[in-house]
């Protein structure tokens, strides 16, 4: 069965510093991978997705993620953190090409220090 593990339930970085949120997946077949962001008291928004077209995926708000099959990882990065990036981030995996189940990680809360 597919699953995702997010390393670190809370990450804190200074404004302007690199953001790195870690996600490792488990899947016996090529996965579809996603990163979602959730701002306080809101639903989830899709940041970016990997569906095998390219290993480096660019998303909204300056975020990007790289699919590394050898490491079974899909880490999310942003070169320079902004105060507005403070939110909770979820990695998710789906191995089925049809629209059915997506499995979410437990989330990483990102805090930005002034």
- What residue ranges bind other proteins (CB under 8 A)? 6, 9, 32, 34, 41-46, 49, 51, 90, 94, 96-107
Q: Quick one: which of 112, 113, 102, 111 has its CA closest to 36? A: 102
Q: Quick one: which of 81, 107, 83 has its CA closest to 9? A: 107
Residue 27, both tokens = 């899947």
**What's the closest the beta carbon of residue 94 comes to other proteins, in angstroms?**
6
**What's the closest the beta carbon of residue 13 comes to other proteins, in angstroms?**
21
What is the chain's Cα-based Rg? 13
Nearer CB in complex with other proteins: 6/73: 6
Nearer CB in complex with other proteins: 9/111: 9
* Contact of 78 with 87, CB cutoff 8 Å: no
Question: How far is residue 114 CA from its own chain's centroid?
Answer: 23
**What's the closest the beta carbon of residue 63 comes to other proteins, in angstroms?**
15
Nearer CB in complex with other proteins: 81/90: 90
């Amino acid at each position: 069965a597919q699953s995702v593990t997010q390393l670190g339930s809370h990450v804190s970085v200074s404004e302007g510093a690199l953001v790195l949120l870690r996600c490792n997946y488990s899947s016996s077949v090529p996965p579809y991978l996603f990163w979602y962001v959730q701002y306080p008291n809101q639903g989830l928004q899709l940041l970016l997705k990997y569906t095998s077209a390219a290993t480096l995926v660019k998303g909204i708000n300056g975020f990007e993620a790289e699919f590394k099959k050898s490491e079974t990882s899909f880490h999310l990065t942003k070169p320079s953190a902004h105060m507005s990036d403070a939110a909770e981030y979820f990695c998710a995996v789906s191995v089925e090409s049809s629209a059915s189940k997506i499995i979410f990680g437990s989330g990483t809360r990102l805090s930005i220090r002034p």
